[in-house]
Structure 1
Amino acid sequence: MAAAVEEHTPLQSYVGFDSITKQIESKLLKRGFQFNVMVVGQTGLGKSTLINTLFASHLIDSKGRLEAYESPRSTTEIHPISHLIVENGVKLRLNIVDTPGYGDQVNNENCWDPIIKYIKDQHSAYLRKELTAMRERYITDTRIHCCLFFINPTGHGLRPIDTLVMKKLSDVVNVVPIIAKSDSLTLEERDLFKERIRAEMQYNNIRLYPFDSEEHEEEERELNDRIRSLIPLAVIGSERSVVIDGKAVRGRKSRYGIVNVENESHCEFVYLRNFLTRTHLQDLIETTAQIHYEAFRSKQLLALKESSTKQQQQAQGHA
């Protein structure tokens, strides 16, 4: 069959199909959006505070997380915290997955197993629903879209366990490394620390988000290059308001002065927030589906096919 020849036909009058974008937007707004973010890092690095600062809401109680960490079962049990947040009529179902106890023990061997298992379990649950004969119209998506990896601001470099876990995570999820509590470093120490971490990540072939694609326009590629040049992002979180020049801002006050979370010369929190919520939120969701989940799905379906073929051959051999 010959391929159809595409012709550009000028319209004689207004038809109205250009409203399709508004129709799609209206349906999506009614349904709402879902974003699943995982936080990985040692206790005391301000994971809860940063999430609360990012989404301008008190979503996680730090004290509650510390109590969970003290529980002997906390190192293996991972429970998401779900919140529905609304901004200008847009509903976002935000699922925050904390990983208490990671890297805190004297012996941290295989401490990453529950984290990797949780991510793969969400892929597996989605695949099962997808393959069901009478599947849901809209499958609830619990797949992790973004993993914020918190790095201790030691100024020396990555711990061997951090390198190993980041490498394992990058195979199954979008990893965004951040230097927590970066105000404990001077600007010179911070820049040197970032250089060391970038060199270590490059040496260990750790593939971090955002990825480049041939589908990306030049503008998107330039934006991704700028973000990659900043990673790991040096951030500070704070839910408290401090007054600077008569204006209340989120920040921290010390005997040496005031740190303004949203001041780009103090930290890179603004870049992280813009990146996660204003420019790449939808891309994080799509990349999870098109790259990480697709790789998992292909592997599972090939394994099922091989298993089925083997069973058929064994049945024929017994016949």
Structure 2
Amino acid sequence: IEKTVQIEKRYMEIEEYSVKLRLTIIDTPGYNDALDCSNCWQPIDDYIMRQFDQFLRDESGLNRRNIQDNRVHCCLYFLNPTARGLQQMDVLFMLKLHHKVNIVPIIAKADTLNTDELKLLKSRVLEDIERHGIKVYEVPHCDSDEEEEVKMRDEELRSLLPFAVVGSNGVVEVGGRKVKGRIYPWGVVEVENPKHSDFTKLRQFLVSTHMQDLKDVTREIHYENFRANKIKQDNLHNNKSVIVHVDVVVAVVVFVHFCK
């Protein structure tokens, strides 16, 4: 698989409970290979802000019925499985973006870790997130009258965070079944086996159980924060323009007065 060197959009349609969903996947470059990582987050920040800005313009226009929502509803942030928690650049990146997008941390290449190592890494990542004050997306707590099944489902999701996934483009045969996975000398890792990877839970979380909440948080918190700051900046700019204009007028009046 070739490395991503610039921001790329990919579109796909999936069907969930007889409902067709059109997803836009924005693939961004990794930064570990770069010599200077000081502003690696900037292109991603710019992209998120451009989508907010475009939506605000469309929302303020005449044709508001057919607005296409291109706002980023979720950022899947892949973590290095060989690290002992969050690295310095992970912390910087998340702190720069956590007020603008729903960040969902994910441990990549989870098949490189055994069960105890993975459990320890998840614990350290959560500790680092709390210590640095990083705001990642949190699975909301259910109301008291919610069905027990939903409560148990969300509790399980919270226990899995950060998700740990295995990826593969290959199809292997296991016990007469063809599955996506990887073959190792000691056995086979199945991408969609919950015992091997959180992939199925992550997919369910993204496109089924919590998709609407991700959109709601984007709209009600991240976008509204952007919108409020934008209005504040515009008002400040307009006030400065008025002050400068008045100062010029006063200066001219004073100058004319002395000429007399």
Question: 1:31-50 to 2 correspondence within 5 Å?
Answer: none
SS at match of 2:51: helix
Measure how far apart 1:226 and its partner are: 3.7
Tell me the distance in 2 between the aligned counterparts of 1:212 and 1:305. 35
Matching of residue 163 in structure 1 with residue 91 in structure 2? yes
Question: 1:289-308 to 2 correspondence within 5 Å?
Answer: 289-308=219-238
TM-score after normalising by structure 2: 0.85
C-alpha distance after superposition, 1:37-72 (max 9, x if no partner): xxxxxxxxxxxxxxxxxxxxxxxxx33xx3x53xxx
For the Cα contact (< 8 Å) 1:122–1:142, is it kept in 2?
yes
For the Cα contact (< 8 Å) 1:176–1:232, is it kept in 2?
yes
C-alpha distance after superposition, 1:269-290 (max 9, x if no partner): 1221111122011111121111
Give the 3 Å change call, closer, same or farther, for CA 246–223 of structure 1 in structure 2.
Answer: closer
Tell me the distance in 2 between the aligned counterparts of 1:85 and 1:266. 24
* Number of equivalent positions: 245
Tell me the distance in 1 between the aligned counterparts of 2:237 and 2:84. 48
Question: Which fold has the larger relative contact order, with Cα–Cα distance below 8 Å and residues 6 or more apart in sequence?
Answer: 1
Moved more, 247-256 or 292-301: 247-256
Tell me the distance in 2 between the aligned counterparts of 1:138 and 1:293. 18
Matching of residue 240 in structure 1 with residue 170 in structure 2? yes
Give the 3 Å change call, closer, same or farther, for CA 262–81 of structure 1 in structure 2.
Answer: closer
C-alpha distance after superposition, 1:132-186 (max 9, x if no partner): 2x23412111110110000011052221001111222211100100100100001
Percent of aligned pairs with the same amino acid: 40
For the Cα contact (< 8 Å) 2:139–2:158, is it kept in 1?
no
Corresponding residue for 2:71? 143
Q: Which runs of 5+ in 1 are unaligned?
A: 1-61
Matching of residue 269 in structure 1 with residue 230 in structure 2? no
Tell me the distance in 1 between the aligned counterparts of 2:40 and 2:126. 24
Matching of residue 131 in structure 1 with residue 57 in structure 2? no
Give the 3 Å change call, closer, same or farther, for CA 127–155 of structure 1 in structure 2.
Answer: same
| Structure 1 residue identity aligned to 2:88 | P
TM-score after normalising by structure 1: 0.71
Q: Which runs of 5+ in 2 are unaligned?
A: 251-260
| Structure 2 residue identity aligned to 1:96 | I
Match of 1:312 among 207, 222, 242: 242
| Structure 2 residue identity aligned to 1:297 | R
* Aligned residues: CA RMSD: 2.2
For the Cα contact (< 8 Å) 1:210–1:224, is it kept in 2?
no
For the Cα contact (< 8 Å) 1:155–1:185, is it kept in 2?
no
Q: Which has the larger radius of gyration?
A: 2
SS at match of 2:231: helix
Moved more, 291-300 or 87-96: 87-96
| Structure 1 residue identity aligned to 2:135 | R
Corresponding residue for 1:97? 26
